[in-house]
């Protein structure tokens, strides 16, 4: 009996130390793959996937890799390279990507220039695509803040991964969660981090990008007002802007994206 109590006590103590925010393991295109690496008493392994550095975090006495799977990923084995301090050659592990069906949306536009923008508009779009690509490469050394909250109160329209077609032409799938909310409602940072970009973009409108560490970023778009400053260190819940419909948006809502190793992943996996 005494032993049983001791065991229960140890179990409770252990549970209290392992409760830590962590995304859901969901190895699908647009999902997150979590791989066990080595025990926590060994040196932190360095991990790469598709040539990009991967977040490595300690949980339950284990080093774990957090891999963002691109929405365009093929189904099947994806190779991850692992390097350790005392082992010069990388070892490999695989993440088995399973299929996931995303809905399609067909939009008919009468104005052909909205389907394929030209001239100055196209120049701006291309310039901003490059800027976004660079921002998504951000990989800071600090351990990632994995404790996430919903950035704004409102209904999730379930549009993450939606395949979009304009007049039959395929466009990039929808890369975030759209939350319907009235103009002016406060937008909170979903986790602690550093504001790495604020500005106005053709598609995203007024946008704020936050670096949460080790390639984990969040992006908030279509704001009516930006409150955060570029370079600002913020806490979870810090008000960074207000809901709006700037950029390409049909009505007021928050477009919220989460990036992991440069890939847009389903933000719902972090809640």
Q: Do 64 and 126 contact (CB within 8 A), yes or no?
A: no
255 binds Zn ion (CB under 5 A): yes
Which of residues 7 and 165 has its CB atom nearest to Zn ion in the complex? 165
Q: In angstroms, what is the minimal distance from the CB of 17 to Zn ion?
A: 38
Q: In angstroms, what is the minimal distance from the CB of 60 to Zn ion?
A: 35
What is the spatial distance between Cα 44 and Cα 46, in angstroms, rounded to a whole number?
7
User: ∠ CA 156-263-226 to the nearest 5 degrees?
Assistant: 55
Q: In angstroms, what is the minimal distance from the CB of 143 to Zn ion?
A: 29
Element housing 171 (H / E): none
Q: How many Cβ atoms from other residues are within 10 Å of residue 3's Cβ? A: 7
Which of residues 77 and 250 has its CB atom nearest to Zn ion in the complex? 250
Which of residues 76 and 158 has its CB atom nearest to Zn ion in the complex? 158
Which of residues 145 and 175 has its CB atom nearest to Zn ion in the complex? 175
What is the spatial distance between Cα 212 and Cα 194, in angstroms, rounded to a whole number?
7
What is the spatial distance between Cα 115 and Cα 109, in angstroms, rounded to a whole number?
7
Q: Which residue of the chain is nearest Zn ion when measured via CB?
A: 255
222 binds Zn ion (CB under 5 A): no
Q: How many Cβ atoms from other residues are within 10 Å of residue 96's Cβ? A: 10
CA atoms within 13 A on the CB side of 131: 17
Size of residue set near Zn ion by CB under 5 A: 2
- Which of these ranges, 92-100, 148-156, 173-181, 240-248, lies near Zn ion under the rule CB under 5 A? 173-181
Which of residues 198 and 257 has its CB atom nearest to Zn ion in the complex? 257
Element housing 122 (H / E): helix 119-136
Q: In angstroms, what is the minimal distance from the CB of 227 to Zn ion?
A: 20
For 142, counting Cβ atoms within 10 Å of its Cβ (0-12 exposed, 13-18 middle, 19+ buried), the class is exposed
178 binds Zn ion (CB under 5 A): yes
- Which of these ranges, 61-69, 108-116, 203-211, 251-259, lies near Zn ion under the rule CB under 5 A? 251-259
Q: In angstroms, what is the minimal distance from the CB of 174 to Zn ion?
A: 6
Q: In angstroms, what is the minimal distance from the CB of 257 to Zn ion?
A: 8
**Residues engaged in binding Zn ion (CB under 5 A):** 178, 255
């Amino acid at each position: 009996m005494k032993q049983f109590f001791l065991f229960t006590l140890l179990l409770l103590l252990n549970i209290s130390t392992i409760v830590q925010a962590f995304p859901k393991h969901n190895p699908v295109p647009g999902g997150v793959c979590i791989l066990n690496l080595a025990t926590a008493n060994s040196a932190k392994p360095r991990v790469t996937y598709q040539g990009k550095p991967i977040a490595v975090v300690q949980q339950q006495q284990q080093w774990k890799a957090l891999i963002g799977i691109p929405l365009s990923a093929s189904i099947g084995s994806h190779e991850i390279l692992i390097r350790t301090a005392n082992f010069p050659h990388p070892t490999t592990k695989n993440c088995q990507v399973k299929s996931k069906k995303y809905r399609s949306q067909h939009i008919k536009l009468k104005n052909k220039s909205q389907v394929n923008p030209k001239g100055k508009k196209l120049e701006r779009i291309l310039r901003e695509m490059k800027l976004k690509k660079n921002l998504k490469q951000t990989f800071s050394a600090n351990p990632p803040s994995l404790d996430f909250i919903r950035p704004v109160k409102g209904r999730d329209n379930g549009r993450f991964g939606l395949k979009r077609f304009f007049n039959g032409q395929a466009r990039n799938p929808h890369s975030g969660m759209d939350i319907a909310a009235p103009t002016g409602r406060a937008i909170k940072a979903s986790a602690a981090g550093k504001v790495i970009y604020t500005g106005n973009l053709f598609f995203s409108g007024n946008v704020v990008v936050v670096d949460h560490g080790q390639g984990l970023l969040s992006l908030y778009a279509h704001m009516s007002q930006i409150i955060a400053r570029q370079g600002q260190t913020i806490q979870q819940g810090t008000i960074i802007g207000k809901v709006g419909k700037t950029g390409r948006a049909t009505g007021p809502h928050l477009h919220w994206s989460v990036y992991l190793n440069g890939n847009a992943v389903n933000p719902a996996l972090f809640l």
